Amino acid sequence: MIRTAVRGTGELLITAGLVVLLFVAYQLVWTNYEAHKATDSVASDLRDSWDRPNPSGAGPAAARGPKKVDFGKGFAFLHIPRLGKNWTIPVVEGVDLPDLAKGVGHYPKTAQPGAIGNFAVAGHRATNGEPFAYLDKVRKGDLVVAETEDSWFTYVVDRTKIVSPTSVWVLDPVPGHPGATPSEPLLTLTTCNPRWASYERLIVFGHLTETRSKAEGPPDALVRTGGKA
């Protein structure tokens, strides 16, 4: 009787241990595999939709910035040469976990890329594709390019800051100036800090320095580092 109970408990504990190990494998390997697959599919869908002729007959540059998209749908690309020669990731609408598993997520109430106000984006730093794994390498003066259907928007990084998880002010149209009316296009990137914890957030702030139409070709920031259109 006691023997059976002890054996049963032992088996349960070993099983629990195996499940925990499986969960670690799931996090470190499987979520990245799934996220890369999802990211690739979002990216190729977006490129395809851009390449398709516009059914309305209007030119591709007709709209001012990208139109509103559904949550979880890609609408732009982010290029950060500091993170890798051809580092690029689709930007999807929304910052919930299912959205962030497909790329980096655009905070829904913030500005569109290139628009006056604050274009704010969140991304994973560990597992689930971990696009912002090395966001801490980004320095003042680095360039971040947002690519939309008809434009290249080049932002230059002004500063990086580590803040508390409740610092929603970083998303303000003018971060640090609540209620201020924005006068220029700004950029905010957020991720967790430290990489494997969550008691802080790592923030990258920038402002728009150059706008080019797709017809003019990619900005120097990408050409020089070998990025392609």
Q: Which of 79, 106, 124, 125 is catalytic?
A: 124
Question: In the set 23, 44, 159, 162, which binds other proteins (CB under 8 A)?
Answer: 23
The helix or strand, by DSSP H or E, that contains position 17, with its residue range, turns out to be helix 2-25
Question: Residues 145, 181, 135, 23: is their CA dihedral positive or negative?
Answer: negative
Interface of this chain with other proteins, residues 141 to 180, rule: CB under 8 A: 163, 165-168, 170-171
Question: In the set 199, 215, 228, 229, which binds other proteins (CB under 8 A)?
Answer: 199
Measure the CA–CA gap between 221 and 62, rounded to whole angstroms.
26
Question: In the set 38, 42, 126, 138, which binds other proteins (CB under 8 A)?
Answer: 126
CB 170 within 8 A of CB 222: no
> Which among 46-54, 85-93, 118-126, 220-228 is the span making contact with other proteins, rule CB under 8 A?
118-126
CB 202 within 8 A of CB 125: yes
Cα first-last separation, the chain? 71
Measure the CA–CA gap between 187 and 172, rounded to whole angstroms.
10
User: Is-catalytic flag, 201?
Assistant: yes
Q: Which residues are catalytic?
A: 124, 192, 201
- Per CB under 8 A, residues contacting other proteins are 7-8, 11-12, 19, 22-23, 26-27, 30-31, 95, 97, 100, 105, 107, 122-128, 132, 163, 165-168, 170-171, 190-192, 195-199, 201, 203
